[in-house]
Amino acid sequence: MILELIERLTNEAAKQNLDFLIIGGQAIGILGYPRLTMDIDFLITAQTRADWENLLRSYNYDCYSEGTGFAQFHGKVGWPRIDLMLVDETTFEKISNEARKTKGRRTPSPRHMVALKLHATRSTSRDPEKLAQDWQDIRKIVERHKLDPTEPDFADLIRRYGGSKALERIRRMCEH
């Protein structure tokens, strides 16, 4: 169901020239660390939000929660939740320029996935179980893609999105 819906949405988005990246658990799986996730997350520009809402409405999805930088949608009973992470065009372009195409899907590069996960860990309302999953995802991405937190550009990215404590935590992860 989820893969079929991703296929339909991504095909329709392409027809409408709506650029996006798949993020979240689905992207983690595409990047080589499959795990069970029951939602679909897209990174889009804030400027295309209305177009995405129209697209999702055509699949009987309605917005049930929104805030600065995100909107969450639910559909029919049993259908996966869809989350949109909204960023400005400059941020989207920066992440998109390093994006990977794997299995026909565009995802952020592993280092940008770490940055997105670090951004999520900083949310004060983040559920502790999801927070633990975020850190496990970070560890798996760093290990699988042999990212080096002592490399200056990656260390700067970690500090920017997670702070100095996150950098130290990731460095400790890599020592074991």
Residue ranges of domains in the chain, CATH in brackets: 1-108 (3.30.460.40), 109-176 (no CATH)
CA distances from 11 to 66, 104, 167 (A): 25, 11, 38
Average pLDDT, the chain: 93
Q: What is the mean pLDDT of residues 71-78?
A: 93
pLDDT at 19 over 80: yes
Q: Give the H/E segment covering residue 50.
A: helix 49-57
Query: What percent of the chain lies above the pLDDT cut of 70?
Result: 98
pLDDT-derived band of residue 68, with 50, 70 and 90 as boundaries? confident
Tell me the residue length of the chain: 176
Give pLDDT, residue 139. Answer: 95
Give pLDDT, residue 156. Answer: 97
Give pLDDT, residue 102. Answer: 77
The model carries a pTM of 0.92
Give the Cα separation of 34 and 139 in Å (integer): 13
Note the pLDDT tens digit of each residue in 104-150.
789 999 999 999 999 999 888 888 998 999 999 999 999 999 999 99
The DSSP secondary-structure symbol of 80 reads P
pLDDT-derived band of residue 80, with 50, 70 and 90 as boundaries? very high
Note the pLDDT tens digit of each residue in 95-116.
999 999 877 789 999 999 999 9
